[in-house]
Structure 1
Amino acid sequence: MTRAEMLCRLKEVAAESVTPLRLAGGAFHVWSQLPVTDRCSLEAVRGALYSAFALGQYAAYEMFATRRLMPGEAADVFLADLRRLAVLFGRLPERALACAFVTGLPDAGRQTIRAGSRAEGLDLTTVLVRVTTINGGKLRCCGVGSVVVEEVPTGRGASLETVVVEKRPLGVDIVLGVAGISALGGVPYCPRLSILGRQPPAARREYDAELDAWVVQGCLVPYDEGRRGTARVLVPLMAVQQCIKSKVRPVMGYRKLNSFVPTHRADTDVCADQLWRWRRHGANVAVVDLKRAYLQVHVEERLWPFQTVMIRGQRFRLTRLAFSLNIAPMVIKAVVRSVLEQDAVVQRAVLPYVDDLLVNEDVLSAERVVVHFAEFGLDCKHPERAASGAWLLGLRVQAEGRELRWVRDNPVGASPARVTRRAVFARCGRLVAHLPVCAWLRPAAAWLKRRVNQLMRTWDDVTDNAALRAQINYVARRLNTDDPARGAGCVEGEDMVIWTDASSLATGVVAESPDGDVIEDACWLRRDEATHINMAELDAAIRGVDLAVAWGARTIGLRTDSATVHRWLDDAISGRARLQTKAHGELLIRRRAEIVCQPSFLPIIDGGPSRFCVWRPLRRASAAEIVGHLEQRFLERRAPEEVLADNDTVFRGCQEAALASLRRCRRAPLRLEYHAHPYLTVRISELGPSGDASPRHALHGNVASRDSDGCGVAGQ
């Protein structure tokens, strides 16, 4: 309509007479339906066409919100279309139009203009013509487009969105941003890792010296593309400061590559579990650590193109195993295990944890272990005796008198200045971590984590809650004067005393040796305060027994201040009385009591082809109880030809009674044969007319206990 009016004014012709001739299709039908008087009014025709074909206010707003700068479209055209859509649903102020315009720009231009707008308060007109280059110069944006770029040496290409300007930026045809570099396989930026450029000068020198040592040792070798082919991956190399060891370690950023390397974590060692084994390995122990363990493992040549780095403008290939590869600890574990399996004595003397070795010198000297590993090309550091002071998986162990004692080895640091969930959890992790004994500190750390979870929804929200800050400061003050992280370094024997208790807030367990040394403690905050205190006391007793079983205790002394729990467990273990209670959870209580006492079962296995097994629960392991189950089985399925039982005293005690039961069930002449250890075998054969024994199936039996998942293994 506007162009038609302009043409009519130019030709000095009435627009009302020309407009119907320029309309077609639906527009002409709309004009023909108008009254005759309205057909001669240009305003009436324009209003009718707008009502028929213009977007509604809702559709116009939806298109306005999703409108983006198209490839090849000029910025002025984009802004004009935004204005047109804004008129259809209601006029917007210039500031709102400027925000919509910047939002519709490509990523690179949008971030730059947003930063400039915040810093300089740019209006819509200035935003339209402003594009800031890398060196701070300003160029006029002519539009956007799409180009295909290709890296000449590798032939790798990518399609990139571009912002078109009038002049060459920095004197070149194209300037690549971060998105363009990543599309061509460049270096991604990881904000959570310490980047080399942000390290202090002293750390920078240490980092450069470490890289030079890698080059001298052959870990880093200049990459020869003519011989090895084109490098497949360029891995970022970063400097990470280790505060505990006070050194800088070069670390390769394998985040992208790790996403393509599957890992199997079922055989992963848990530090806390391994610490149990180390403390049970003996008092005369020494620690041997592999020297630069990961750099001693060579990588196959065909994998070199996948781990190349740029150092001082030159591409190098890493020929050894990198620390940050997700499967690196599993590889080290497999290598160490393979070396230990070459000598049975070394394997019996050494308990490994990744690249750390604990040697029981009552079996083999630590120097002999170092020589054994050197025979397979693995260098070890000088052994550290625990009696002289050594580091054992985060514990500082040394001799006090004739015993080994451990204390905390990690610095706890100061309280966080900004209280966030992330900072509180990190603080609590440094306080308790995997330390076996923490006493009052363990429930205090658990309480701080619970409180910060209640106050904040995200990990980085900052809170100024005065009560939480006071609790954090109280823990810090008490920790400075009374750090409970200490205990016995060596755990011996199979006897253990378990103290358990429960309150409205938490349940706790303490494991002690018969001499009174605290071995380990544990604490769990209660979630459901409505649970009866007797149930909480019973749960604490079960957890205490689990803790003792994990330590390998065979004789457990359970201590509880609840008379009710004492009666429940005593009745369940002794079998003197049936557990009875008026509580609504009687079945649950009985089941938990049975878990503590671990009832015995009599497995009866058919020795024929079926190998069918029947489990009979035993109220007590006595001769009368076992004979009763055997006689019931013989009456149901007839007596067998022979009975094979293990060498338990219970079976020896029921021998005569079992034979009498067999005679009653078979009522036939019998012949007895006895076999020695490991099984007491009673062979009973029925004599036929010719004096030959008729073959029958056998029954094998032993007294066993079902394991935690309800299954058991019957010895035969």
Structure 2
Amino acid sequence: MTRILKTVLEKTETTKKGTDSYLDDILVDDSMVSASDVVEHLPRYRLIAKEPEPVEGAVFGLRLERDGTGNLVFRRGNEIPKVKDEMNKRELFSLCGKLGRGVVWCDASSIATGAVLEIGGVVVEDGTWQRKKDDYHHINVSELDAAIKGVNLALKWGQREIKIRTDSVTVAGWMNLVLTTEKRVCPKGAAEVLVKPRLGISRVLIDEFGMKIRVSEVPSGMSKADALTRVKKSWLKVKEEQDEKLEVCAASSLRAKELHGTHHLGVDRPLFLARNVSPNISREEVRRAVRACVRCESIDPAPRPHLTGELSVGEN
């Protein structure tokens, strides 16, 4: 559209010299060509124009105002302060925060939480916090922690108006309810007592610093914080012993075998109980015990096939 409009305006010498365009907006210099002539010129090339308006307000991302003498001058929406010869880290963050609006990308996984701060389309800072081995928080709680860390990161850069991008639909819903205050947040499940205090912290940060936050959900693959919380799968694999023969509910750890074989609870709960006794036991060892369990592998709702037929009788 930009190229089409520019080509049409260059068809005559007066409109070429007396106009300037950006996308579908046209700025007309009345001293060279009248706005009515431009409006009449566009329909000749099947372009429709609305009624011209006097320029008083925002143009091309700048504020157009009249100074004390009545002349039109361009101003920014926020004045850039003078830069000192020497600045500390906090002063530099505050200055950079006034140059554009920030976008916070946050993500979490089973191994780490991460946040990326983007200002004006440029990544200015990111951070990754590795989760402890005994961190059994639900993934939604970790995603909420990542969002709060991202807000704190934006505050250090002097940002007061930010956009939060998360790949968790649940966390985006919680944060939007906190921002709009339309209704109370009622998280359910065992993590309820962990979610509410974190949402309270976010509400305090917003009120204390007068922040304007918008939260939206993005696909995981498009999140810029996704790379901070992922590693190669080969790095997480435990080298299997070639001479080890797995028997019923057998694993490399005898403790994992006993805990799983008692109640067949899956992976997470036996892992939690096993680490209380043997902190060095890995998730892969417990997972191998579950995979090798004959009882768990033999669960089948219909182990024997039946011949198909018709449920009908010939006569009453």
Q: How high is the TM-score relative to the length of structure 2? A: 0.35
Q: How high is the TM-score relative to the length of structure 1? A: 0.16
